[in-house]
Structure 1
Amino acid sequence: MIRLRLAVVALSLMILAMVAGTPPSFAADKDVSAELESLDLEDLLQVEMVSPSERKQSLENIAGSYTILTEEDIKRSGARSVPEALRTVPGVVVTRTDTDKWSIGVRGFSGTFNSKQLILVDNRPITSPYFHGVIWSSQNLPIQQVKRIEVIRGPWTSLWGSESFNGVINVITKSAAEIQGNRSVTTAGTDGVSQYLRKGIHISENATMAVFAKGEYEPGKNYRIRGRTEKGSTDWTTGSGGFRADWLNAYTDQFSLQGQLAGSSITEYSPPGNPFSANKDKSDYSGYAQILWDRKTGARSGMQFRSSYTRTEITVSDMENMSNTVDAEFIYSNEQLDGHFLTFGIGGKYFWDEFSQGENVQVSNDSIYRLDFSGFAKDRITLIDEKLFLTLGLKLDYSGDSDLTPQPTARLLYMEDDEEYWLAYSYANRKPGFWLRDGNYRVRVRDKEYTMSVGEDLENEKLSSFEAGYRKLFSETLKLDLSLYLNSYDQMVTFSFDEDTNTATPVSGLSGTSYGLEVALDWQPWSFLTLRPSIDLSNQDFQNVPEGIPGFSPPLNSALYNIKLQALIDLAENWELDLFTSYLNSMDNKDLSTGFGFDARLAWQAREDLSLELIGNNLLTNVDENNFAPVEPSCTLRLTWDF
């Protein structure tokens, strides 16, 4: 652990030195954008190659429910982290449960260790193989590095397998060519301070490289939890440094290498609802390296190879976990002459975890090793040229401790002028996470303490999902997106409580249905105003749902409505005002951050190379909060300088 700390510090210092000492690039350098400008229309159409997988190509014209947050969307949301940016997405519930902890749920499930969706960064899974959730405190991805965020609601099992149970969130970072030059982003406010530095340079005619570093400090704040004000964790200090290098050869081969080291420390408290916190100082560390090779073999065909290594060291209450993951995948696609667009791929993942047991939290084994394999095939069949498409897909997942599990999907898309209609069916079959089958810990439920025991003979969780949708572009300034879904769950993990022994055991005893409606508009009534209202209406009907299980992601088992409105206003030349308001409520006041939220951002572009933003969060709150709501509003000043 000491060596990893030294590596984090050394890399950060090296990057800061490079930012300060590297001479600026000159306009005479020939970059990719300049080369593209010299091409005619026919050549440009050839450059717009189709990716070997729907994981990289644009999500336009797909039979599914999706939202794409662009770089501009992320900036105008005022977000300082990926979870904050996701708050504006329809069908997504984001709750900050502590200073360094987030709960993100898609279509009705939420919790600190929510395992119901897959989260990726540049197609690299950041969901913990052991805990089946994302430990956000160990990620530390600077929001300034993010190019876009793709949110796909509903299971896409034929591409991503059973991990995409309720959806997929893919964070796409900027290439080195897109972050050339020097940039400094400084923030200061009631939530602390941060400093981000970036340097992008040309290595050669076709190669670019960028390095970055970021440090941040947050003092922490109090939270409203079940009607009481509780102290959150304090003194959260984070630091990260990373790089990316890209090489492009004649528009046929693209090679990328990227990596990051990050560390954080915090004085942790254990308020109700966060059973995996402890009253102690703790530190988390992480690092990864990824290599990507993308080759275009034809106008609509190509292949891609990606491999990464990820290491994290985290503390869960008083137990320390060191995790290593190596994964690799190969994808190939080819459009056949008879109207078939085939995509297939194979992949594998090997991870090993080691544990230093605690008194409050333990696992059955001091170390765990596992090798997983998967393969998928997908065919997009053109039934009517440029109008009707049928997509059939199947992924096979194999884990070292379970049988081969098929994950099929069928999707139908009809396009007519500016309208799209789609239908989809998906099936998911997934093994419960190691954490549920192997963990031992104590937790307070309904003001009574229980010891969680190992769950034995847990069955695979199963999901059958039916979806339908409609999209229409009424004009260049008005777009409608509507989705309906019905999910049937079976053999979901829940808990059996023994009042005599004060123990709780995971069992495969939960089944039920979830259905809902998502409606989103993108409307620009005037040139200076864009409105993005959305409404998410859902209902869950499950039997034998235990209440008050903190940290996990049980269904709410009630009706839920979530209303959001984002207003983007161009006040004047170089002035922007952005407002975001939301209202979330459940019909029977379940454990959820219900109530009204309001955020605002005022931005001034003082010069081409200098901008100033004033960001306010949690303004005008304290309306019927029930659980995990920040007590105080916050105000942040953000200064961006290109030099």
Structure 2
Amino acid sequence: MIRLRLAVIALLFSLLVIATSILPCFAGDTDVTSELDSLDLEDLLQVEMVSPSERKQSLEHIPGSYTILTAEDIKSSGAKNIPEALRTVPGVMVTRTDTAKWSIGIRGFSGVFNSKQLILVDNRPITSPYFDGVIWSTKDLAIETVKRIEIIRGPWTSLWGSESFNGVINIITKSAAEMQGTQSVTTAGTDGASQFIRHGEKVTSKGTLAVYAKGGYEGGKSYKIRGRTEKGSTNWVTGSAGFRTDWLNTYTDQFSLQGQLSTSTIDEKSPPGNHFSSDNEKKEYSGYTQLLWDRKTGVNSGMQFRTSYTRDAITLEDMDVESNAVDAEFIYSAEKMGVHLLTFGLGGRYFWDSFSQGKKVSVINDNIYRLDFSGFAKDKITIIDEKLFLTLGLKLDYSGSNDLSPQPTARLLYTEGDEEYWLALSQATRQPGNWIREGNYKIKVRDTTYDVNISSNLEPEQLSSIEAGYRKLFSKTLKLDWSLYFNNYDKLATFELDNDNNTATPASNLSGLTYGTEIALDWSPLSFLTLRPSLDLSNQDFSRTGINIPGFSPPINSPIYSVKLQALFNISKEWEFDLFSSYLNTMDGKDLSTGFGLDARLAWTPRNDLSIELIGDSLLGGVNDGDFVPAEPSYTLRLTWDF
């Protein structure tokens, strides 16, 4: 088996070498993404975007439900980290379950473990292949280095694979050319303090380099948990340092090399309902390096090769885990052939984890090794020039000893002037994470503690999805985005409880429907005012409700509505005032943390190179999907100085 895997790897890399040697070069130098911020919405309709995640298509001509947060959007939200920035997005629910823990969900299923969306940084997966979630405490991604965040809701498994069951969040960082000069960002407030500094310069006529470092401290927060105030983990100290270098050949090629090391320590406390936390000091670290090569081979064609290595060391209650992952992918977009525009890709990821078993938490094996392969093909067919397009896609995933998992999709897009209509049909499957199949730990349900029984008989989870949407650009100041979805889930992993023996056994027996709508407006009624209201209505109808186990967050048989509103005031050239309010509730009184939340930001820019911001979070309490709500508001002063 090992020889077979080595032979397959050798064959794939041989094909990559052959492809890069025979494909023609084409002159033309257009760095599209660096010009996006200067364009209005009508111009964006005509722009070709090349995201690090592939994928050549018009920025607005996407047959799916999506949101793009620019660096300016992120700053206006007052976000100090990635999860906070995602709070403003329709269809996305963010819960801060402890000082260093977040749960993020797209259209439900927002558990820390067993989440069903893929999260990427420059197309590098940061979702743990073992735990099926993101361990945010080790990432320490500086928000100051982020250029934009692309959030795609709904199954895009035909392009990104089985991890993108409910959606994809792609965090795209700034290039070295966009981080030239020196910048210092200092924050201080009721939660703690942090310091970020970066420096960039041109090293050759075609090459740029940027280095950065960040350190921070948070004293810890108190949370209202089911009506009681509990103290969370305290003394969270973080530190990170990274670099990025880019080299651009005027004619054909662009190379990027980047990397980061980060570490954190925290006095962890396990409050009621927040399992997998220890009552002692915890130290963790993470590091990665990534190489990206992008080559133009024609006016609308190109290829891209990306490879990365990631290493994490985390603690899960009293079990220590060291994770390593090497991944590579090759993507080729062909020139348009008649009505067909073909894109295909190959990818692979090899990861190995080692465990120092604990007394409270352990796994079956001390070491885990797994090799995953995937391949996809996509054809965008022009049915009516500049009006009607049909996209057919298929991805095949192979994971460990499991069978190939096909992920097909068909997406139809119709454009007429400033209007777009789209329809999507998708079929997706995913394997439950190793953690739910192989972990030995305890769970607490309704004040009763259960021992988890290991189960290796879990079946692949299934999803059939129908989506539709409508967009209209009424004017330069008003845009509407409306989407509908209907998802049929089957064989979802949950737990069977045995009250006689106090055991919980993972089982593939949860099935049901989720359906709803998302409506978002971007409106500038006045020259100094921009309003971004959104409404998210969803209903979950499952034949049997999953057990409410912290960290796994099964669906609730309940209609849920979430209302969000951003109000951005450009008071003058020097002053900005921004508000973000949200409300979350169920229509039938089910147990869900609800209420009205309000965040605010006041910014003063006395000079082009100096910005002072006062940020207030949870001013009227918190709104979260779950039982964790910050007990008190927080206030932060942020000073940004470019020199």
Same fold at TM > 0.5: yes
- Paired residue type of 2:435: W
- CA deviations on 1:207-243 (whole Å, 9 max, x unpaired) are 0000000000000010001111111000000000000
- Paired residue type of 1:445: V
* Gap change, CA 1:623 and 1:472, over 3 Å in 2: closer
- 3-state SS of the aligned residue for 1:221? strand
* Aligned match of 1:196: 196
* Aligned match of 1:254: 254
**8 Å CA contact retained: 2:32, 2:49:** no
1:322 CA displacement = 0.2
- CA deviations on 1:108-143 (whole Å, 9 max, x unpaired) are 221111421000000000000100100000100000
Equivalences for residues 149-168 of structure 1 within 5 A: 149-168=149-168
Please tell me whether residue 524 in structure 1 is matched to residue 524 in structure 2. yes
**8 Å CA contact retained: 1:49, 1:299:** no
* Gap change, CA 1:432 and 1:595, over 3 Å in 2: same
Equivalences for residues 232-271 of structure 1 within 5 A: 232-271=232-271
- 3-state SS of the aligned residue for 1:593? coil
* Aligned match of 1:501: 501
**8 Å CA contact retained: 1:565, 1:580:** yes
**How far apart, in 2, do the equivalents of 1:47 and 1:568 lie?**
26
* Gap change, CA 1:429 and 1:512, over 3 Å in 2: same
**How far apart, in 1, do the equivalents of 2:591 and 2:269 lie?**
20
- CA deviations on 1:54-94 (whole Å, 9 max, x unpaired) are 44655420100000000100000000000000000000000
- CA deviations on 1:484-519 (whole Å, 9 max, x unpaired) are 000000000110001111110100010000000100
* Aligned match of 1:489: 489
**How far apart, in 2, do the equivalents of 1:392 and 1:105 lie?**
27
* Aligned match of 1:351: 351
Equivalences for residues 217-228 of structure 1 within 5 A: 217-228=217-228
- 3-state SS of the aligned residue for 2:63? coil
**8 Å CA contact retained: 1:380, 1:391:** yes
**How far apart, in 2, do the equivalents of 1:233 and 1:301 lie?**
50
**8 Å CA contact retained: 2:94, 2:624:** no
**8 Å CA contact retained: 2:47, 2:58:** no
* Gap change, CA 1:57 and 1:148, over 3 Å in 2: farther
1:626 CA displacement = 7.0
Please tell me whether residue 569 in structure 1 is matched to residue 560 in structure 2. no
**8 Å CA contact retained: 2:546, 2:555:** no
Identity %: 72
- Paired residue type of 2:413: L
What's the TM-score once normalised by structure 1's chain length?
0.91
**How far apart, in 2, do the equivalents of 1:228 and 1:359 lie?**
29
Comparing 238-247 and 446-455, the one that deviates more: 446-455
1:252 CA displacement = 1.6
Please tell me whether residue 383 in structure 1 is matched to residue 393 in structure 2. no
Equivalences for residues 507-586 of structure 1 within 5 A: 507-586=507-586
* Aligned match of 1:370: 370
1:453 CA displacement = 1.6
* Gap change, CA 1:313 and 1:33, over 3 Å in 2: closer
User: For structure 1, which runs of at least 5 residues remain unmatched after alignment?
Assistant: 1-30, 37-45
- Paired residue type of 1:436: I
What's the TM-score once normalised by structure 2's chain length?
0.91
* Gap change, CA 1:240 and 1:446, over 3 Å in 2: same
* Aligned match of 1:92: 92
**8 Å CA contact retained: 1:190, 1:634:** yes
Comparing 631-640 and 451-460, the one that deviates more: 451-460
**8 Å CA contact retained: 1:109, 1:556:** no
**How far apart, in 2, do the equivalents of 1:236 and 1:71 lie?**
26
Comparing 245-254 and 582-591, the one that deviates more: 582-591
1:455 CA displacement = 1.7
1:340 CA displacement = 0.8
* Gap change, CA 1:456 and 1:32, over 3 Å in 2: closer
Equivalences for residues 39-118 of structure 1 within 5 A: 54-55=54-55, 59-118=59-118
Please tell me whether residue 480 in structure 1 is matched to residue 480 in structure 2. yes
* Gap change, CA 1:53 and 1:123, over 3 Å in 2: closer
* Gap change, CA 1:80 and 1:305, over 3 Å in 2: same
1:53 CA displacement = 6.2
**How far apart, in 2, do the equivalents of 1:544 and 1:177 lie?**
53
Comparing 593-602 and 301-310, the one that deviates more: 593-602
* Gap change, CA 1:238 and 1:49, over 3 Å in 2: closer
**How far apart, in 1, do the equivalents of 2:579 and 2:142 lie?**
23
Equivalences for residues 270-281 of structure 1 within 5 A: 270-281=270-281
**How far apart, in 1, do the equivalents of 2:546 and 2:138 lie?**
30
- 3-state SS of the aligned residue for 2:410? strand
- 3-state SS of the aligned residue for 2:458? coil
* Gap change, CA 1:78 and 1:489, over 3 Å in 2: same
1:282 CA displacement = 0.3
* Gap change, CA 1:626 and 1:310, over 3 Å in 2: closer
User: For structure 2, which runs of at least 5 residues remain unmatched after alignment?
Assistant: 1-30, 37-45
**8 Å CA contact retained: 1:272, 1:444:** no
Please tell me whether residue 629 in structure 1 is matched to residue 629 in structure 2. yes
Equivalences for residues 396-475 of structure 1 within 5 A: 396-475=396-475
- 3-state SS of the aligned residue for 1:220? strand
- Paired residue type of 1:358: G
**How far apart, in 2, do the equivalents of 1:47 and 1:522 lie?**
19
- Paired residue type of 1:102: W
* Aligned match of 2:141: 141
- Paired residue type of 1:619: L
**8 Å CA contact retained: 1:309, 1:326:** yes
**How far apart, in 2, do the equivalents of 1:435 and 1:371 lie?**
17
**How far apart, in 2, do the equivalents of 1:622 and 1:212 lie?**
32
1:544 CA displacement = 2.0
**How far apart, in 1, do the equivalents of 2:500 and 2:201 lie?**
66
**How far apart, in 1, do the equivalents of 2:537 and 2:242 lie?**
41
